[in-house]
Structure 1
Amino acid sequence: MMGLADITLFLDDMDFLSRAVIMAIAVAVPLALLSPFLVLKGWALMGDAISHAVFPGVVLAYVFGIPYALGAFCAGMFSAVAIGFVKNNSRIRHDTAMGIVFAGMFGLGLVFYVKIRTAVHLDHILYGDMLGAMGEDIVLAAAIALGIATVIGLKWKDFLLHAFDPVQAVVAGLSVNALHYGLLALISLSIVGALQAVGFILPVAMLIAPGAIAFLLSRRFSTMLVVSLAVAVLCSVLGVYIATVLDSAPAPTIVLLLTIVFLLVFAFVSLRQHGYFLKGRT
């Protein structure tokens, strides 16, 4: 049996393109599994808020010499709790609270980033560097993907009930707060896993687009999960290869590919609803 060090060494020995493909899949899996829940709950802005809010945690992690994943996760969870606290203790709407918290956290991160930029180079964390992913980055992303996939596989029905009807979830004996903050924790973890690959700027697109595409194509939530996963993995792998051909960055190429797929699916569904794909119709 290969140990963790052996797996990391094996991944380091692979060529950069193979590592990028594996990293793309490891990032796509958790984002795709969470995407349908965010789409159903209308939490697109929450994904954006957390993806920006983890920035100061990463910068401080570099300063104090602790794993950046730990700093990012702590900052993400702090932001999620802060948003809930502001919403529950004021008349401010949820989206307003998200906007205030994530803008403030991202601004704080930029201040820290500028102050230490001469000593520590964080551009690859800010913008992502999928082609430069090393073995330890892939192992971390894969471990997060496995953990999130396990939780979703065991609890997706509970999360689904909470997304559709929190009141019914309470009646069914579920802990709404545990599901709420559990989902936020999973979102934070998925963004931590995506940092090396896509940075802070693009995770929200990869967190929303697969679920939106699956929502247009599916009527059952279980099918929606499968479609979201398939679309995210396929676009991620194709995006890496297209980026190498075009000499482009993989992360924005993947996001652009997801956007194109969404537009094509949207056009197809719209035309089908108007009867353009029925027999005898041109």
Structure 2
Amino acid sequence: MDLIQWFAAPLQHEFMVKAILVSALVGLVCSALSCYMTLKGWALMGDAVSHAVMPGVVIAYVLNIPLAVGAFVFGVGSVIAIGFIKAKTRVKEDTVIGLVFTGFFAFGLVLISKVKSSIDLTHILFGNVLGISDADITQTVIISVITIVTLAILRKDLVLFCFDSTHARSIGLNITFLYYVLLSLLSLTAVAGLQTVGIILVVAMLVTPGATAYLLSDNFDHMTLIAIATGVFSSVMGTYISYHIDGSTGGCIVVLQTLLFVLAMIFAPKHGLLVRARNSGAIGE
């Protein structure tokens, strides 16, 4: 099979065309948000919220309302719970985050096991972009538009909040509002990522592209473009690879994103391991 056939073969199937387009869109949105997550140092928070939305997704499915509504409620609810426990106890924040997200996630598993529905646990955990419905595509598009527009409108405020929240407060920005805006976008984006890679791996799409770009650029605008490029590329190519090897689509996407991060970690022009080793050797001489 030559290269043209390799790319053309999946396009003969409508479900693959949908999967490729949705994966690219989800990769774009998650990558754009991942830059803020990386700058804020919210990898663990992203993991917590992406897992905490699970019971909300199940309840929304049972009530026949948009999954994003349930995810939003439980995502924000998990953050409120984290803040309350942190304020009222002596337990450290990372421990509280671990407790809350595992508790919410376990509650979601119980709901799935007891509620009579057609929900497939593996689809929630690992995604099912190859079987995505038109309704799910519409929901993903709406979530993507909301996220991108919000990030564009509040870009400067969110960057300052993520970089230095103390300075942001001192110049009059409402950091509580920005905090919940970012968490709301995180909850919504987790639903979009759920369709592609599932709850287990969605945190990778929310962290890895931003982390890769962070190694390659010190400029936030350039970082965003690099993150989006790597996110969309890995999402599309991961979907192609999964088709040809008959493997997990979400797994292929995340593995490819991880490989891109490793390459950046080694070869980044300013912050790569090779450059650091070369500079250390030069200093030693």
Partner of 1:166: 165
Q: Give the secondary-structure state (helix, strand or coil) at the position aligned to 2:57.
A: helix
Q: Give the secondary-structure state (helix, strand or coil) at the position aligned to 1:200.
A: helix
CA distance in 2, matches of 1:168, 1:121: 46
What are the residue-to-residue correspondences of 1:65-104 with 2, within 5 Å? 65-104=64-103
Cα distance change of structure 1 residues 198 and 117 upon mapping to structure 2, 3 Å threshold: farther
Partner of 2:228: 229
Q: Give the secondary-structure state (helix, strand or coil) at the position aligned to 2:199.
A: coil
Would you identify which runs of 4 or more consecutive aligned residues in structure 1 move more than 3 Å? Answer: 117-123
CA shift at 1:205, angstroms? 0.6
Q: Which segments of 5 or more consecutive residues in structure 2 lack a partner in the other structure?
A: 1-12, 280-285
Q: How many percent identity over aligned positions?
A: 43
Partners of 1:17 and 1:131 within 8 A in 2: yes
Partners of 1:22 and 1:138 within 8 A in 2: no
What are the residue-to-residue correspondences of 1:131-280 with 2, within 5 Å? 131-268=130-267, 269-275=272-278
Q: Give the secondary-structure state (helix, strand or coil) at the position aligned to 1:202.
A: helix
Q: Which segments of 5 or more consecutive residues in structure 1 lack a partner in the other structure?
A: 1-13, 277-282
CA distance in 2, matches of 1:38, 1:231: 16
CA distance in 1, matches of 2:29, 2:88: 32
Partners of 1:213 and 1:262 within 8 A in 2: yes
Matched AA of 2:27: A
CA distance in 1, matches of 2:252, 2:264: 18
Cα distance change of structure 1 residues 154 and 64 upon mapping to structure 2, 3 Å threshold: closer
CA distance in 2, matches of 1:219, 1:119: 47
Cα distance change of structure 1 residues 263 and 119 upon mapping to structure 2, 3 Å threshold: closer
Matched AA of 2:247: S
The superposition leaves residues 166-187 of structure 1 with CA deviations (integer Å, 9 ceiling, x where unpaired) of: 1111111100100111100010
Partner of 1:110: 109
CA shift at 1:152, angstroms? 1.0
The superposition leaves residues 124-148 of structure 1 with CA deviations (integer Å, 9 ceiling, x where unpaired) of: 2232101111222122112211111
CA distance in 1, matches of 2:123, 2:199: 10
| TM-score, with structure 2 as normaliser | 0.88
CA distance in 2, matches of 1:148, 1:121: 27
Q: Give the secondary-structure state (helix, strand or coil) at the position aligned to 2:18.
A: helix
Partners of 1:26 and 1:138 within 8 A in 2: no
Which 10-residue stretch deviates more, 71-80 or 223-232?
A: 71-80
Partners of 1:19 and 1:134 within 8 A in 2: no
Q: Give the secondary-structure state (helix, strand or coil) at the position aligned to 1:159.
A: helix
Matched AA of 2:275: R
CA shift at 1:96, angstroms? 1.5
Question: Cα RMSD between the aligned structures?
Answer: 1.9
CA distance in 1, matches of 2:118, 2:189: 28
CA shift at 1:115, angstroms? 1.5
Q: What is the number of equivalent residue pairs in this alignment?
A: 265
Cα distance change of structure 1 residues 140 and 63 upon mapping to structure 2, 3 Å threshold: closer
The superposition leaves residues 48-77 of structure 1 with CA deviations (integer Å, 9 ceiling, x where unpaired) of: 111111111122223333332221221111
Matched AA of 2:131: G
The superposition leaves residues 78-130 of structure 1 with CA deviations (integer Å, 9 ceiling, x where unpaired) of: 11121122223332222111111101101111111111267644432232101
CA distance in 1, matches of 2:242, 2:195: 17
The superposition leaves residues 200-229 of structure 1 with CA deviations (integer Å, 9 ceiling, x where unpaired) of: 111001110000100000011111111111
Which 10-residue stretch deviates more, 164-173 or 56-65?
A: 56-65
CA distance in 2, matches of 1:132, 1:99: 32
Q: Give the secondary-structure state (helix, strand or coil) at the position aligned to 1:275.
A: helix
Q: Give the secondary-structure state (helix, strand or coil) at the position aligned to 2:278.
A: coil
